[in-house]
Amino acid sequence: MTLLYDCFDSPIGRLTIAGDGVGLRHILFAQNRHDAKGRAHWQRDADALAEPRRQLLDYLAGRRDHFELVLAPVGTEFQLQVWWALADIPFGSTWSYAQLAGHIGRPGASRAVGAANGRNPLPIVLPCHRVIGASGALTGFGGGLPIKVALLTLEGVPVADAALPDLFD
């Protein structure tokens, strides 16, 4: 299947978004822990993805706290359950992996929830950046910890690690 994509600059670096007639399937940072497969078959079409681009840029400019997009992530049944649950984490809040596992009715699955969270193909919109360790540690993030810090800071979440750069300066 051919996906349409667009690349654009943002306050947190270059973003690539991809989707099709079903919905938005990928949001990629300049550096990703897990890249999207099949990118050689993608076709650039900025017009087809104008609305997701606009909403992402509005969020990153502090003008939006939620998204109104049709999403179409592809994953296992468990991954999809975790990814859809991310949308339940309120703007400006964080949950631990254990809270997220409890939210989906799998309280003993914190590690599996963490693995699914790390494979989220729609970061920012399905806000995996809002998931932190039980101790309050930021833990990993597919786009890198500086971007996680920037997103949490944008949402007004106090971040303890001031040694990381402020990407919105």
Q: Are 97 and 133 in contact (CB under 8 A)?
A: yes
Tell me the mean pLDDT in the region 164-168: 44
DSSP-derived secondary structure letter, 27: E
Range of the domain at 38: 4-60
Q: Is residue 88's pLDDT more than 50?
A: yes
- Same-domain pairing of 35 and 88: no
Indicate which residue of 24, 128, 152, 167 is catalytic.
Answer: 128
For residue 167, being part of any structural domain is answered with no
Predicted TM-score (pTM) of this structure: 0.90
- Same-domain pairing of 81 and 149: yes
Known catalytic residue at 128? yes
For residue 65, being part of any structural domain is answered with no
Domain of 82, CATH number, reads: 1.10.10.10
Q: 101-133: per-residue pLDDT in tens? A: 999 999 999 999 999 999 999 999 999 999 998
CA distances to 25, 44, 48, 76, 152 from 130, in Å? 20, 30, 28, 21, 7
